[in-house]
Amino acid sequence: MNNHIQPVELAKTYRLLNHGPTVLVSAQHQNDRDVMSAAWACALELVPAKVSVVLDKSTYTRKLIEKSGYFVLQVPTLKQIKLVQALGSISKTDHPEKLENCHTPLFQFADYDLPMVEGCSAWIICELIPEPHNQLTHDLFIGKVIAAYADSRVFRDGHWYYHEVSDEWKSIHHVAGGHYYSIGDPVDANKT
Amino acid sequence: MNNHIQPVELAKTYRLLNHGPTVLVSAQHQNDRDVMSAAWACALELVPAKVSVVLDKSTYTRKLIEKSGYFVLQVPTLKQIKLVQALGSISKTDHPEKLENCHTPLFQFADYDLPMVEGCSAWIICELIPEPHNQLTHDLFIGKVIAAYADSRVFRDGHWYYHEVSDEWKSIHHVAGGHYYSIGDPVDANKT
């Protein structure tokens, strides 16, 4: 784990998702691990910090979350766009070697048996709040944030610094079919 | 209503929200109308098209939605950033003249008694799917999309054309305290 990775105050976790990036969702049950891409992830509450993410019934990651009760939302960067697209395009159900075939670089935080993707800008570790109705009817999974980390080169002191680093750090925002937008310029509503 | 505003196929509605823009939420009950800003809005299902949005119990717009059963999610543009910030900063509960004081330009689509904000890039008209648990516990409101429209200068044939129009059309993505990012450049995962 590189020493740029620093904890994020739980009450500031929403800021990691507030600008609507496409995320990577990780989960692990025993020694079985998966990572998938998801565009439908959102902050749900400030304190206690909660998030929501929509996970289709066909996804393998969802099954691991249902078994283990934990998941990670990660904010990938423009540099990882091919990885994000690949992890969102094939399923471990059909491709048991998905993570290896996609050359997914993983690491672990001490204390958590969860696979983290190297090179992301932020990692949000969540405990599933079991809600059978939401999961079955809406494919909606709600998590309580138990820890969050960010790469301090691009997020520190509760703020993104996309404008201070190279473009490869930018968040990516999927529209459809592999077409994304990177995040753009900072704009201050109080100054414009 | 300007003639650039064209219907969006319901199955493509998710693309209006997929890149995670901050939205404006409108509602009306009898002659009482309100508009608020929200960053926690998300697509929830492709077909039938559904969306979710988190609305705090303190908001006046929420009360109108609970009474009327309908709401609108709109995608505002960089040109409207001061309006978005104002509509997200004050409540009609304390400021009954909020919409007038914020100089909110409204129009209506025929068939819908709902206030639409002029100058947005897209409008998603939703019928509330009543879910008391989600509304009370998570402040989470789920809507079935019954119609969607976009300004064809920036969204047409199911695609955004941010890169073909001036910056003032760009979506805005709130982080915190009036600090936003505008959406950036298109990136194709299949070509990079």
Question: Domain containing A75 — which CATH number?
Answer: 2.30.110.10
pLDDT of residue B110: 87
CA distance B64 to chain A (A): 21
Q: Provide the domain count of chain A.
A: 1
Interchain CB contact of A47 with B (< 8 Å) = no
Cα–Cα distance, A64 to A71 (Å, whole number): 9
CA distance A9 to chain B (A): 15
Instruction: Tell me the average pLDDT across A98-111.
Output: 96
Please name the residues between 157 and 186 in chain A that touch chain B, using a CB distance below 8 Å: 158-160, 162, 170, 172-176, 178-186
pLDDT of residue A1: 66
Instruction: Give the structural domain span for A81.
Output: 5-182
Q: Is the pLDDT of residue A9 over 70?
A: yes
Interchain CB contact of A48 with B (< 8 Å) = no
* Residue A149 placed within a domain: yes
Segments in chain B below pLDDT 50: none
Facing B20 at nearest CB: one of A19, A82, A134: A19
Q: Is the pLDDT of residue A103 over 70?
A: yes
* Residue A192 placed within a domain: no
pLDDT of residue B1: 65
ipTM of the complex: 0.96
pLDDT of residue B191: 83
Cα–Cα distance, B25 to A8 (Å, whole number): 30
Q: Is the pLDDT of residue A192 over 70?
A: no
* Residue B60 placed within a domain: yes
* Residue A121 placed within a domain: yes
Q: Is the pLDDT of residue A25 over 90?
A: yes
Which candidate, A52, A123, A56, places its Cα nearest to that of B42? Answer: A52
* Residue A74 placed within a domain: yes
CB B65 within 8 A of CB B27: yes
Burial, B9: exposed, middle or buried (Cβ in 10 Å; 0-12, 13-18, 19+)?
exposed
CA distance B29 to chain A (A): 26
* Residue A42 placed within a domain: yes
pLDDT of residue B76: 98
* Residue A163 placed within a domain: yes
pLDDT of residue B2: 83
Classify the C-alpha dihedral B85-B87-B92-B95 as positive or negative: positive
Instruction: Tell me the average pLDDT across A94-116.
Output: 96
Interchain CB contact of A105 with B (< 8 Å) = no
Instruction: Tell me the average pLDDT across A126-138.
Output: 98
Interchain CB contact of B77 with A (< 8 Å) = no
Cα–Cα distance, B103 to A7 (Å, whole number): 42
**Token couple for A16:** 């990691």
> CB A81 to CB B180 under 8 A?
no
Which candidate, B122, B138, B148, B139, places its Cα nearest to that of B50? Answer: B148
Query: What confidence category does residue A2 fall into, taking pLDDT thresholds of 50, 70 and 90?
Result: confident
| CA-based nearest residue in chain B for residue A20 | B20
pLDDT of residue B185: 97
- Residues of B within 8 A of A18 (CB-CB) are 39-40, 173-176
